[in-house]
Structure 1
Amino acid sequence: MLLLLALPGPLLFVLYLLGLGVASIGLLTPGEWLIGRCRAAANLGRRLARDWGGVEVPVPYRPAPPEPQPDAEGWYRHDKALYRKPRIPRYLARVVWLAEDPATNRDLNWMLLNTVVGAVLGLLAVLGGRTFLRAHGLWTRMLLSPVRPRPWWERVVHGLHALWHLAVLGLLAVVNLLAGVVLVVLFVLTHVLGAFLWWPWCNRVARLLAGLGRSLAGKWSGVPVDEVYLPFIAPVPTSDGLYRAGRMLRKSPRPAIRRARYRQAMTDPASPRDLLWLLGDGPVTAALLAPLAALCWVFGWGFWIPFWVRVGGLFFDVGRPWAELPAPAKWLAETPLAGFPFGLAAGAAVVALAPPLVRLHGRWARLLLAPTGKTLLAQRVRRLAETRADATEAEDTQLRRIERDLHDGAQARLIALGLKLAAAEQLLDSDPQRARELLGESKAESGQTLSELRALVRGIRPPVLTERGLVDAVRALALDLSVRIEVSADLPGRCPSAVESAAYFATRELVTNALKHAGADEIRVEVGYQRESLRIVVTDDGSGGADPDRGSGLRGIRRRLGTFDGTLHLSSPPGGPTRATMEIPCALSSQKTSSSSETA
């Protein structure tokens, strides 16, 4: 079977190219049919590699592009061009989909090379059995899989980098141990001598060294370690302007600030863990480096075994007659290159062991330096208290806005409407023509008042959000805008009403920012539900450079999401693209699945 699959490789190669050519000149149906048959042959190779060789080869083809949809004016768009009919945008999108798929090049390479290599391995599989079947599967995965195994030279370079990292970590372990001992001595001295208010400055050194350990664990070991310390709470003056420092009231805030810093350093659960890490980093790092040190000794001495045998320094006493050497030592002495294999094996072991040892050191750092569950709980309680205050303030601001809009808009119009109706009633007998004019004006004004009330209600909560849910509300928002917005959703069920409202207005704010400040031409909104949380990702191709610290809108979004313990993560390098990820923990009300993708 493998031989039959390998022999028509050049023919499949030609048919694949022919299919691409036919599709590129406008004949999509026959071109896609030819490409589909060739891809079926490649998928057959993947399936045989899995079933016979036990090697899993993923199918990496990109999904077909969606059918073009008209905008509000009936135009169809592809890239930055508009078309009246959907035929050309569909043709261009599918040609790009076929030609630019990286799997296409992998299929072509496999079809051309499998004729030789695959045929040889298939013939050997007939003669040698399952071993060559697995070799054929590995060969298929090497060409058809999107994930390529790292070459050996890259693994060697990675191991050498890890050795350098271990050397730096070893030096830092010595510094940490010395600093830990000094800090313990200073802690005892400052409290014995009564200068305990200066201890926070010593504790800051421990934080700096522990922060360096967290940073290196994340960069070199791939083990992220969060840094969570209790915030510093500045002392607040009393009603008469004095500051409390212990049992004394002072005019200057400095004693109160020093005492507050001392209480923070002594009550923070992370402070003793930092000090314990400084004291324990030296022994733990030494234990991790011990096997590498032994292997390095073997690596260095392995190349000089014959020399040391000749001088009598390794296997026998100095001055022992040459003829009385033991047989292994005599063989080593007479074979100059006998120690080279030991040295090379030890060197390879050093390079192979260095990366996992670096990861072990990162896990050790996370074991002591990562925040405890109690600290995370305290941080969450503090954050919820802050967001509750923000939510209360936001609710008060919203109520004031609604009251102002009603007072200045609808209420004033209703009063004017009542006055006009009263005037029309008085003029009904004396001046019917003028009364009819006033009634017409009142009718028009009632329509304007109704429109203002609808706009006000829509600003509080859009009707489509109440009736059809978050996904359809976002799609309706996309239809109201002039740029291309792609909305993809995979939301099983509906979120609570308050969560839907917060997510909708946060999404609308992000889309507005992308249009107003970044000048985006294309926006993508992804709505999903992962790990018991609503997840919305808004990506645009604008100018980037968004900074939550400089924009009140982004800070408002974070306050809005923080009310529900939600988060906003922003990636916006200068020049773009900007990617904003919102996550709100919530439970869904039903298990009805809504999964689709739409472009507006």
Structure 2
Amino acid sequence: MLALLALPGPLLFTAYTLAPFVSMLGIPALGERIVGWCRGAIDLTRRLSGDWCEAPVESSYLPPPSEPQPDAEGWYRHDRMVYRTPRVPRYLRRVEWVSEDPATGQDLSWLLLNTVVGPVLGLLAVIGGQPVLRLYGRWTRSRLGVVEPRGWQLWVNGGLRALWQFALLVPLAVLNLVCGVLVVVLFVLAHVLGLHLWWPWCNALAQRLAGLGRRLAGKWSGIPVGELYQPLVEPVPTADGLYRAGRELKSSPRAALHRARYRRAMTDPATGRDLLWLLGDGPVTALLLAPLAVLGWVFLWGLWIPFWVWVGRFFAEFGSPWEQVWAPAKWLADTPLLGMPLGLLAGAGALALAPLLLRLHGRWTKLLLAPTESAELAQRVRRLAETRADATEAEDTRLRRIERDLHDGPQARLVALGLKLSAAEQLVDRDPVRAKELLGETKADSGLALAELRALVRGIRPPVLTERGLVDAVRAVALDLVVPIEVEADVPGRCPSAVETAAYFATLELITNAIKHSGAESIRVELRYAEPVLRVVVTDDGRGGASPESGGGLTGILRRIGTFDGTLQLTSPPGGPTAATMEIPCALS
């Protein structure tokens, strides 16, 4: 029975691998069902291992992802992209769920290796009995159980996962080639027929496919690829009621916006690079796939040659099954003793070569899709101009706030204090008792004015921040709040004063948002320095759903830390938890 269960291994392996392709062809339910069938067959082996071989094996699959939920505007988000319907995000989540699950590599390696081990141990069990069955159970548990993988197992799982991911790139490469040709044809038709509005749509399609290629290169190949496109220059209304887009004047904002989009698509250098990548990804992927296809062919033929030779000899009266096959396959069939070792060697070669070829594909993607130095420099100049304007505006706003607070608070109290002193001076001879009362009120007012001045100074820069630094200032904030806040820090020194101030108030804003808007019951703050970046991570267990695009305090944080080239990464799914990561380049004193 064990030998029979091992025979469909290559068929299940093929079905397991092709399931995402079926989903990509527009039948996601069938693709998920195929994965369910393959995993069901493997779970059957797990149960039989416990019942027959005295080695129960637990399933270690990750739970399926949740259904995509619309945001406040009705869009469905996935990986910095928005979609009108949940179909595409649901499919992408399912593909990532299967491809990034460590148990997937275990399943694939077991399906292939068990094709050899299963029949051998199954036939030996007829002779050896229960001890051989227990050996098979331990073998199954070592491959499919929840155990810490060893070095060679990590290598096999990594190679199989790379094969899986490389196989997923094949239909994407075909899709890229088809869409690249389509974009070229539409571009020519649009400019021949004068339908220029088509081109921004074609450019958006190319950008989406290129963006998917960038994300897959970063996740699967381990080679991050940046994304940089020219910003859209909004049409400018003129005094005579027209709208200017570049050098052209349009009568309506809609026409001016279309012209601005067309202008950006035509002048952005990334447009041509995206198109070249779409057209070249298919041939490059095919070139990288060729050695894997040859090794896979040798592996499958070599692995199955002994079995088919025996079948051919058993049914010799029906003729040789190798008469119409390719010459190398016939040669392997005539030398079955070399077939299995050669097949296993080819399989090991494919496992070793797949991660390397996957990284080469990532390097090819980075070669064409990564921003050029000139584009990065232009983006840097635009970013510096924006941060300088934000810094100037923030400084002006801060000065106005300080002026208003001084005018409405301490200044008003000091004026009242002067009036009371004048009144007391006039009453000191005629009504000493009343003058004494006014002097007591003056003393109290001076204390209130001093307290307001201290609060105002503390709002500009807290004394504990000046004296003790960022870490102790955040800990002081945690002690003053009712919500429990855990602070973990590893900052071996002091940051520049301006950076400490920006990081302190940004952290305070994140904590305030977590308490006020998220309803968090516990907050964790991590402050770490890894040269040359100060990293602050604020995590809460609130309701989630925060987004920098919504404006408010998060926009203020981006402006505050953007002055120092800081970045803010926010992860806040509906239902929580929320994790905000700030990174500010700086040097410690």
What count of residue pairs does the alignment treat as equivalent?
431
Deviation, 1:197, is 5.6
Secondary structure in structure 2 of the residue aligned to 1:526: strand
Deviation, 1:535, is 2.1
Q: For residues 169 and 530 of structure 1, what CA distance do their matches in structure 2 show?
A: 35
Q: For residues 519 and 183 of structure 1, what CA distance do their matches in structure 2 show?
A: 48
Instruction: Give yes or no for contact 1:571–1:579 (8 Å, CA) kept in 2.
Output: yes
Q: Measured at CA, do residues 309 and 348 of structure 1 come closer, stay the same or move farther in structure 2, by a change above 3 Å?
A: farther
Please give the residue correspondences for 1:489-500 in structure 2 after superposition, counting only pairs within 5 Å: 489-500=489-500
1:542-588 alpha-carbon deviations (Å, 9 max, x no partner): 44443333461222112111122111222334454433222212233
Paired residue type of 1:435: A
Match of 1:472 in 2: 472
Match of 2:419 in 1: 419
Q: For residues 324 and 459 of structure 2, what CA distance do their matches in structure 1 show?
A: 92
Instruction: Give yes or no for contact 1:520–1:543 (8 Å, CA) kept in 2.
Output: yes
Gaps of 5+ in 2: 1-141, 313-319
Q: For residues 478 and 253 of structure 2, what CA distance do their matches in structure 1 show?
A: 54
Match of 2:578 in 1: 578
Deviation, 1:304, is 4.7
Q: For residues 350 and 172 of structure 2, what CA distance do their matches in structure 1 show?
A: 21
Match of 2:430 in 1: 430
Q: For residues 536 and 392 of structure 1, what CA distance do their matches in structure 2 show?
A: 25
1:515-560 alpha-carbon deviations (Å, 9 max, x no partner): 3344445443333322312222233444444333346122211211
Q: For residues 381 and 401 of structure 2, what CA distance do their matches in structure 1 show?
A: 30
Q: For residues 548 and 432 of structure 2, what CA distance do their matches in structure 1 show?
A: 62
1:151-171 alpha-carbon deviations (Å, 9 max, x no partner): 867765665554443333223
Q: For residues 482 and 468 of structure 1, what CA distance do their matches in structure 2 show?
A: 23
Q: For residues 541 and 245 of structure 2, what CA distance do their matches in structure 1 show?
A: 54
Deviation, 1:264, is 0.8
Deviation, 1:417, is 1.4
Paired residue type of 1:215: R
Q: For residues 393 and 333 of structure 2, what CA distance do their matches in structure 1 show?
A: 84
Paired residue type of 2:258: R
Secondary structure in structure 1 of the residue aligned to 2:549: coil
Deviation, 1:354, is 3.1
Paired residue type of 1:233: V
Match of 1:260 in 2: 260
Q: For residues 509 and 322 of structure 2, what CA distance do their matches in structure 1 show?
A: 81
Deviation, 1:193, is 5.7
Instruction: Give yes or no for contact 1:245–1:255 (8 Å, CA) kept in 2.
Output: no
Q: For residues 237 and 577 of structure 2, what CA distance do their matches in structure 1 show?
A: 47
Q: For residues 482 and 202 of structure 1, what CA distance do their matches in structure 2 show?
A: 54
Q: For residues 579 and 220 of structure 1, what CA distance do their matches in structure 2 show?
A: 24
Please give the residue correspondences for 1:543-554 in structure 2 after superposition, counting only pairs within 5 Å: 543-550=543-550, 552-554=552-554
Deviation, 1:357, is 2.5
Q: For residues 202 and 577 of structure 2, what CA distance do their matches in structure 1 show?
A: 43
Q: For residues 186 and 346 of structure 1, what CA distance do their matches in structure 2 show?
A: 44
Paired residue type of 1:203: N
Deviation, 1:313, is 6.7
Please give the residue correspondences for 1:430-509 in structure 2 after superposition, counting only pairs within 5 Å: 430-509=430-509
Match of 1:27 in 2: none
Match of 2:239 in 1: 239
Deviation, 1:415, is 1.6
Q: Measured at CA, do residues 428 and 155 of structure 1 come closer, stay the same or move farther in structure 2, by a change above 3 Å?
A: same
Q: Measured at CA, do residues 515 and 209 of structure 1 come closer, stay the same or move farther in structure 2, by a change above 3 Å?
A: closer
Deviation, 1:238, is 0.8
Which is worse superposed, 491-500 or 539-548? 539-548
Q: For residues 310 and 435 of structure 1, what CA distance do their matches in structure 2 show?
A: 121
Q: For residues 466 and 293 of structure 1, what CA distance do their matches in structure 2 show?
A: 65
Q: For residues 521 and 323 of structure 2, what CA distance do their matches in structure 1 show?
A: 78
Paired residue type of 2:434: R
Q: For residues 358 and 151 of structure 1, what CA distance do their matches in structure 2 show?
A: 21
Q: Measured at CA, do residues 312 and 216 of structure 1 come closer, stay the same or move farther in structure 2, by a change above 3 Å?
A: closer
Q: For residues 333 and 275 of structure 2, what CA distance do their matches in structure 1 show?
A: 51
Match of 1:405 in 2: 405
1:130-183 alpha-carbon deviations (Å, 9 max, x no partner): xxxxxxxxxxxx9xxxx9445867765665554443333223323323433443
Instruction: Give yes or no for contact 1:309–1:315 (8 Å, CA) kept in 2.
Output: no
Q: For residues 399 and 219 of structure 2, what CA distance do their matches in structure 1 show?
A: 47
Deviation, 1:242, is 0.8
Instruction: Give yes or no for contact 1:539–1:579 (8 Å, CA) kept in 2.
Output: yes
Q: For residues 494 and 154 of structure 1, what CA distance do their matches in structure 2 show?
A: 42
Q: Measured at CA, do residues 178 and 577 of structure 1 come closer, stay the same or move farther in structure 2, by a change above 3 Å?
A: closer
Q: Measured at CA, do residues 154 and 496 of structure 1 come closer, stay the same or move farther in structure 2, by a change above 3 Å?
A: closer
Secondary structure in structure 1 of the residue aligned to 2:491: strand
Deviation, 1:351, is 4.3
Instruction: Give yes or no for contact 1:417–1:442 (8 Å, CA) kept in 2.
Output: yes
Deviation, 1:273, is 0.9
Q: For residues 547 and 188 of structure 1, what CA distance do their matches in structure 2 show?
A: 40
Deviation, 1:513, is 2.8
Instruction: Give yes or no for contact 1:518–1:544 (8 Å, CA) kept in 2.
Output: yes
Question: Which is higher, the Rg of structure 1 or of structure 2?
Answer: 1
Q: For residues 381 and 441 of structure 2, what CA distance do their matches in structure 1 show?
A: 57
Deviation, 1:514, is 3.1
Please give the residue correspondences for 1:138-157 in structure 2 after superposition, counting only pairs within 5 Å: 148-150=148-150
Q: For residues 565 and 580 of structure 2, what CA distance do their matches in structure 1 show?
A: 17
Secondary structure in structure 2 of the residue aligned to 1:492: coil
Q: For residues 434 and 458 of structure 2, what CA distance do their matches in structure 1 show?
A: 36
Q: Measured at CA, do residues 177 and 415 of structure 1 come closer, stay the same or move farther in structure 2, by a change above 3 Å?
A: same
Secondary structure in structure 2 of the residue aligned to 1:549: helix
Instruction: Give yes or no for contact 2:236–2:245 (8 Å, CA) kept in 1.
Output: no
Match of 1:559 in 2: 559
Deviation, 1:430, is 1.3
Match of 1:340 in 2: 340
Match of 2:15 in 1: none
Instruction: Give yes or no for contact 2:234–2:245 (8 Å, CA) kept in 1.
Output: no
Q: For residues 324 and 539 of structure 2, what CA distance do their matches in structure 1 show?
A: 72
TM-score (norm 2): 0.65
Deviation, 1:411, is 1.7
Q: For residues 494 and 465 of structure 2, what CA distance do their matches in structure 1 show?
A: 11
Q: For residues 327 and 198 of structure 2, what CA distance do their matches in structure 1 show?
A: 60
Instruction: Give yes or no for contact 1:332–1:338 (8 Å, CA) kept in 2.
Output: no
Paired residue type of 1:504: Y
Paired residue type of 2:410: A
Secondary structure in structure 2 of the residue aligned to 1:537: strand
Q: For residues 197 and 572 of structure 1, what CA distance do their matches in structure 2 show?
A: 37
Deviation, 1:290, is 0.9
Deviation, 1:385, is 2.3
Paired residue type of 2:166: L
Deviation, 1:214, is 2.1
- Please, what is the CA RMSD of the aligned residues? 3.3
Q: Measured at CA, do residues 183 and 523 of structure 1 come closer, stay the same or move farther in structure 2, by a change above 3 Å?
A: closer
Secondary structure in structure 2 of the residue aligned to 1:565: coil
Q: Measured at CA, do residues 530 and 249 of structure 1 come closer, stay the same or move farther in structure 2, by a change above 3 Å?
A: same
Instruction: Give yes or no for contact 1:309–1:332 (8 Å, CA) kept in 2.
Output: no
Q: For residues 548 and 229 of structure 1, what CA distance do their matches in structure 2 show?
A: 20
Please give the residue correspondences for 1:291-302 in structure 2 after superposition, counting only pairs within 5 Å: 291-302=291-302
